[in-house]
Structure 1
Amino acid sequence: MIKTLSAALLGSVLVPALAAAAPLKTYSTVTQERLSNPEPENWLMAKGNYAGWSYTPLDQVNAGNVKSLRPVWSYSTGVTSGHEAPPIVNNGVMYVATPYNQVIAMDAKTGESVWRYKRDFPEGFSAFHYTNRGVALWGDKVYVAGLDCRLVALDAKTGKVAWEAEVCDWTQGAYITSAPVAVNGKIMIGPSGGEFGVRGFLKAFDAETGKEDWTFWAVPAPGQPGSETWPKEGRWKDAWKIGGGTMWMPGNYDAKNGVLYWGVGNGSPWLGDQRPGDNLYVASVVALNPADGTIKSHFQYHWNDSWDWAAMNAPTLIELDRDGKKVPAMISAQRNGYLYRLGRTDGGQISFLDARPFVKNTVFSSVDPKTGRPTYNQAGVPGTGRAGTYCPSVWGGKDWPYESFNPKTGMLYVPFNDNHCMTYEGKVQERVPGQWSAGVDITDIKLLIDKDVKYIGGIQAIDVNTNKEVWRDTYAKSWMWGSILSTATDLIFTGGTSDRMFRAYDAKSGKELWSFKTNSGIISPPISYAIDGKQYIAVVSGWGVDSALVQGIMADEHGWEKDIPQGGTVWVFAVDEERAPEKRAEAGSSTR
């Protein structure tokens, strides 16, 4: 994926590490039972539950009172750049990770600061962007992965460092933006860095000691299962060593059957002809045993990835209605522009059910209905010394933001981008550790947008049982960079647009019901929690990274607004009881 270039020019950014002297007096220990069955009033992990639903069972905020939502508090994070981490809430305490290796603990009811942690960057460190996608909770600790490849365990009460562990080597171009995932006393995390020739992996660490437990390599070494899909001889025989497949988004977990599902990123370099073969497990979902990291099965969305169509988001775990029975399945709107439904067994075996395009894809000429393997239109495959033009572009039909599944409506809500294409010609780039080596010069990559296009960004609501679209909303002058939260009261909340709006929609019809303009654009996932019986909706506003880069391109070439304000702010909303419809009705009747 193309990253913003401005941050790379900053060089080493040193930030003092600190923890405020206002520790919590009590803390609710996070256990496996709580993570497997999270309480509705809490938001204990990035997507709310292990299945990846981004859904809240709370029902106080509804279509009748959503127009009375008002900010109850806000908190400035003190930094700019793209804020992509959701708030994490455990019994009244909120933890927010921000760009530049920072975690802030706050009182989730009042917004008062509890403690703040910042980590110094090592001398000489630089990255394309400085974002972070969230923390994990286990026991009495908060876990955050630093850009400089360190996994850090913080005391949840004080913010003091309990232990640190090295995950990867930042001098080789690896860095970490993902939220960790906690399962059975293990903290699992993988790196970014495919464009720097990093060979992807997932590691597990002991939650109490920080000791490394296991490593699963996304690109197998010679002799390992899957290695036969990589070149064994000739010019590209060592392609596996720098093959990409970085695992830079948190996975999902089937807690009932003990199966971990993780998404695997793009191939490196981008040109598939520099690594002939299918290239497992690039652009795949893998099913792993969280106890030891062994692979159970996989499904590859597209072979020999040549488009930077990373499959970094694991499929959402659902059940399909089949003849009155509930059948375990998974569903995912992938970067390549296709919506996939996959089967899953108790033992973690993945099967292909079906796939269809949810945005324009000009590369797949067909998809095998039995295996899901695509056949390619060669004009859309860039190569070494050969230009290729393809849709969707590297940002895909859906980039990293989370889709949401609502078990009450039976719909998947997908933040999508359509009508954008890309062209580039590849070349051989010698890999220099820590430097861009995607096989294409950034300046030679061209984003193509038809000047007459009516929209790019939007939301699609899809019935998971029929795989058909129920409704959509589109944005005439914005891409969509926001994750979606759905609720038990048939609402969805999302940001993601360049107009800085936070919106609520009717989840069944797609009608917009409420909006609020924040200080900046929103690319962080919304969440919901409750304290003392009151429901809150929270989101972090903070435009940057790819959203800012693409906005600049659209401004220069298509006249869109360019300077979207930056700066991170946590926004927390609740229904203003005095302005709610029922209160207004009572007030009206008493004055007659």
Structure 2
Amino acid sequence: MRTHKTLAILGALLTASAMAAGPTPDYKPVTAARLANPEPENWLLTKGNYAGWSYTPLEQITPANVKRLRPVWSAATGVNSGHEAPAIVNGEYMFVATPHNQVIAYHAKTGKVLWKFVREVPEGLGALHRTNRGVSLYGDKVYVGSIDCMISALDAKTGKLLWDAQVCDWEKDSAYITSAPLVVKGKVLIGPSGGEFGVRGFLKAFDAETGKLAWTRYAVPGPGEAGFETWPQDGQWKDAWKNGGGTMWMPGNYDAKNDVIYWGVGNGAPWLGDQRPGDNLYLASVLAISPDTGNIVSHFQYHWNDSWDWAGMNAPTLVEFNRSGKKVSGLISAQRNGRLYWLERDGKGKITYNKSEAYVTNTVFASIDPKTGRPTYNEEAKPATGKTRTYCPSLWGGKDWPYEAYNPKTGMLYVPYNDNHCLTLTGMVQSIVPGQWSAGVDINKLDLSVKPGFDHIGGIQAWSVDGGKEVWRQKYPHSWNWGSILTTGSGVLFAGGTNDRMFRAYDAKSGKLLWEFPTPSGIISPPSSFSIGGKQYIAVVSGWGVDAQWIQGKMEGLAGWEKAVPEGGSVWVFALD
């Protein structure tokens, strides 16, 4: 580990210093106050604000004039694979993280490269995905996780490596990082991926100035901790908790007013629940966490004894909604299991179930308790050891990792969804060996299927948060949807996610298509918006790959779709002509 780390640091320092020649713009430090109330002209957080809205108040680009949107600049990132990070903007600085441990700083208005940071990827690293979902900002630093389990702090103006800290151990545990960090109260929070390798999930908090570890919170409780009783206590599977999954591989959201973090927890490991009998807290859950201590304040589990790889890693969006004539502080989330959840939260972070609705077909849930939200199961659709079972939606869920968006003016939640797909798999017992797949199924025998006569897979749904009903829907007859959504104060909705490489704008109230633009590759990164000198810009990173590309290959045989989408990353920035 020491040799790999030293080489990575030296390589990063050399690359950053080589790119940073010449004058650079001024940089305004990012404070806790700015993160809690970000200016409309900047995009300081992965989802735009702590609440996770993926919304900009900017109104210059409207449904009436969006057809005049034109590219201002574009730039190649120089790498392939899936680009899943948004463009983060502070003043004239734009930061884009890419696959293969790279961060590029651009001049946001012109596209000039200000600096580039590259950490060498160690030989032998076995990550399933070499993607990155973004950077975070605080003070005069940029924070980024790496697939070799490090969290790094970079000088925002030069890209110089200031400190790094080890989050996980890729050689020993096969963990790796794809998540964007989240900075809360001077702490940098991040968790690893790796559930399919038997990683026990956790979240760590580091001092933003020094990199010193502040606390660690495991998603799967150990002996003596609350929730441990939901794991096997004896017998063949009594040690299941040690490799139980629950990796926390997506950034959370934060209630700054009440000082509570909400973080999503991933799927169980192995996938087969009969190898870890019990509810298995806190798999497939949302946790309310104290940012000071990492203590769990409350939780809600979307489904118990997860056996479908329906990870609950997407943190719910913080909203307020009306119930019985009263405003309720709530959480809303379209989960991978195919249900859209309305949860309530109080000032201390206690989470309670309000309601849920199916937004895609689910063949697993036989019923839902209307008071608790707890499902009962159709056992014939629950994967198990030595059994071949089929369930819908498939493991990619009604919505995979891409972000939904909430618009406070329309009162709608916009969901990028996929329907009419199922998965058949046969369960087995697999040994946990570092660097080897151990999910309890043969990865080469995952049998994806589509419903006979299906009219579409992907699309966008708009739901009324107060009314709890779907308002409109856009269907994609020949594509899945792998794209996050951005919505604006003027009522425009931006989205990519389709295999035709298009970046699109819709009317947020009606769903009408208003504009589209073809990029060189498909778009699976979240769009963002910013303004400089009074001019509004829309930014998005194009770069197809990872699961989206794998599924595309499967759909060739299932539906005759084109086998592959061109790969290759590029940043695109648009404004009105």
TM over 0.5: yes
Q: Distance in 2 between matches of 1:109 and 1:135?
A: 19
Amino acid at match of 2:311: A
* 1:288 equivalenced with 2:324 (yes/no): no
5+ residue gaps in structure 2?
1-6
**Separation in 2 of the partners of 1:15 and 1:568?**
25
In structure 2, distance between residues paired with 1:359 and 1:127: 30
How many Å apart are 1:387 and its aligned residue? 1.4
User: 1:324: Cα distance to partner?
Assistant: 5.2
| Distance apart, 1:14 and its partner CA | 12
Structure 2 vs 1, CA of residues 255 and 14 (structure 1 numbering), >3 Å: closer, same or farther? closer
State the shift of 1:25 in Å. Answer: 4.6
Give, as a single letter, the amino acid of the residue that structure 2 aligns with 1:522: I
The CA deviation at 1:303 is 0.2
Q: Map Cα deviations across residues 277-326 of structure 1 (whole Å, 9 max, x no partner).
A: 00000000000000110010000000000000000001000001245543
Q: Which residue in 1 is equivalent to 2:375?
A: 374
The residue identity in structure 1 corresponding to 2:118 is K
CA distance in 1, matches of 2:190, 2:127: 18
Q: Conserved in 2, the CA contact under 8 Å of 1:14 and 1:121?
A: no
Residue of structure 2 in register with 1:355 after alignment: 356
Q: In 1, Cα distance between the equivalents of 2:558 and 2:478?
A: 13
For 1:132-281, list aligned pairs within 5 A.
Answer: 132-171=132-171, 172-281=173-282
Letter paired with 2:371: K
Relative to the length of structure 1, the TM-score reads 0.94
For residues 324 and 108 of structure 1, what CA distance do their matches in structure 2 show?
A: 45
Q: In structure 2, how many angstroms separate the alpha carbons of the residues matched to 1:426 and 1:451?
A: 25
**2:20 — aligned with what?**
21
**Segment of structure 1 superposing worse, 12-21 or 426-435:** 12-21
Tell me if structure 2 keeps the 8 A contact 1:79–1:99: yes
Matched, 1:73 2:73: yes
Rounded Cα–Cα distance in structure 2 between residues aligned with 1:460 and 1:523: 17
- For residues 23-38 of structure 1, the aligned pairs below 5 Å read 24-38=24-38
Percent identity of equivalent pairs: 67
- Residue 79 of structure 1 aligns with an amino acid whose one-letter code is V
Name the CA distance, whole Å, in 1 between partners of 2:557 and 2:264: 34
Q: Deviations over 1:42-92 (max 9, x none)?
A: 000100000000000000000111000000000100001000000000011
May I ask how many residue pairs the two structures share in their alignment?
A: 565
Aligned residue for 1:281, secondary structure, equals coil
Partner deviation per Cα, 1:320-362 (whole Å, 9 max, x = no partner): 1245543200100000000100000010000000011100000
How far did residue 562 of structure 1 move?
Answer: 1.4
Q: What is the rounded CA distance, in whole Å, between the counterparts of 2:565 and 2:9 in structure 1?
A: 26
Shift of 1:223: 1.2
State the 1:556 CA deviation: 2.5
What is residue 384 of structure 1 aligned with on the other side?
385
Alignment of 1:453-464 (within 5 A): 453-464=454-465
- Match for residue 396 of structure 1? 397
Matching residue of 1:4: none
Q: List per-residue Cα deviations over 1:387-413 (Å, max 9, x = no partner).
A: 111000000000000000000000000
Residues 403, 415 of structure 1: 8 Å contact kept: yes
1:46 corresponds to 2:46: yes
Residue 130 of structure 2 corresponds to 130
Aligned residue for 2:410, secondary structure, equals coil
Q: Are the counterparts in 1 of residues 187 and 205 from structure 2 also a CA contact under 8 Å? A: yes
1:433-472 maps to which residues of 2 (within 5 A)?
433-472=434-473
- 1:126 deviation in Å? 3.1
2 CA distance for matches of 1:13 and 1:343?
45
Secondary structure, counterpart of 2:554 in structure 1? helix
CA offset digits 1:205-227 (Å, max 9, x no partner): 00000000000000000111000
Moved more, 425-434 or 361-370: 425-434
In the alignment, the residues of structure 1 paired with residue 440 and residue 510 of structure 2 have an alpha-carbon distance, to the nearest angstrom, of 45
CA drift of 1:563 comes to 2.3
Could you give the per-residue CA deviations for residues 438-482 of structure 1, whole angstroms, max 9, x where no partner exists?
Answer: 001112211011342100000000000111000000000000000
Distance 2:520 2:485 in 1: 19
- CA shift for structure 1 position 26: 2.0
Aligned-pair distance for 1:16? Answer: 4.5
- Aligned letter for 2:114? V
Q: RMSD of aligned C-alpha atoms?
A: 1.3
Conservation of the 8 A alpha-carbon contact between 2:8 and 2:119: no
- Post-superposition Cα deviations, 1:131-156, rounded to whole Å, max 9, x if no partner, equal 00000000000000000000000000
Is the aligned partner of 1:306 residue 2:277? no
Secondary structure in 2 matching 1:555: helix
Contact 1:251 1:314 in 2 (8 A): yes
Structure 1 outlier segments of 4+, above 4 Å: 12-16
Separation in 2, partners of 1:437, 1:542: 29
1:13 and 1:126 in contact (8 A); partners too: no
Q: After superposition, give the CA deviation of every residue in 1:531-556 in whole Å (9 maximum; x if it has no partner).
A: 00000001000000000000000013
1:536-551 paired onto structure 2 within 5 Å? 536-551=537-552
Opposite residue 47 of structure 1, the aligned amino acid is K
In 2, Cα distance between the equivalents of 1:202 and 1:147? 15
Conserved in 2, the CA contact under 8 Å of 1:15 and 1:118? no
User: Which letter maps to 1:90?
Assistant: N
Q: TM-score, normalised by structure 2?
A: 0.97
Equivalent position of 1:477 in the other structure: 478
Query: Which has the higher mean CA deviation after the structures are superposed, 272-281 or 443-452?
Result: 443-452
Which amino acid letter does the alignment assign opposite residue 525 of structure 1? P
Number of the residue aligned with 1:330: 331
Contact 1:15 1:121 in 2 (8 A): no
Note if contact 2:9-2:161 (Cα within 8 Å) is conserved in structure 1.
no
Q: For residue 484 of structure 2, what is the amino acid of its counterpart?
A: S
Query: 1:381 Cα shift?
Result: 0.4
| Shift, 1:233, TM fit | 0.3
Q: Structure 1 pair 412/15, CA: closer, same or farther in 2 (3 Å)?
A: farther
Distance 1:262 1:571, change over 3 A: same
Structure 1 counterpart of 2:492: 491
**Contact preservation (8 Å) 1:71, 1:571:** yes
Corresponding position of 1:589: none
Partner of 1:588: none
> In 1, distance between residues paired with 2:188 and 2:422?
38
Letter in 2 for 1:48: G
For structure 1, the 5+ residue unaligned runs are: 1-11, 577-592
- Which residue of 1 is the match for residue 345 of structure 2? 344
Contact persistence 2:527–2:539 (CA under 8 A): yes
1: CA distance between counterparts of 2:207 and 2:464?
Answer: 40
Query: Which residue number corresponds to residue 93 of structure 1?
Result: 93
Alignment check: 8 A CA contact 2:95 2:135 kept: yes
Contact 1:499 1:521 in 2 (8 A): yes
In 2, distance between residues paired with 1:475 and 1:123? 40
Query: Does the aligned pair in 2 maintain the 1:410–1:465 contact within 8 Å?
Result: yes
SS of match in other structure, 1:132: coil
The answer on whether the counterparts of 1:153 and 1:163 sit within 8 Å (CA) in structure 2 is yes
8 Å contact kept, 2:20–2:159: no
**2: CA distance, partners of 1:24 / 1:235:** 61
Q: Decide whether the 8 Å contact of 2:92 with 2:107 is kept in 1.
A: yes
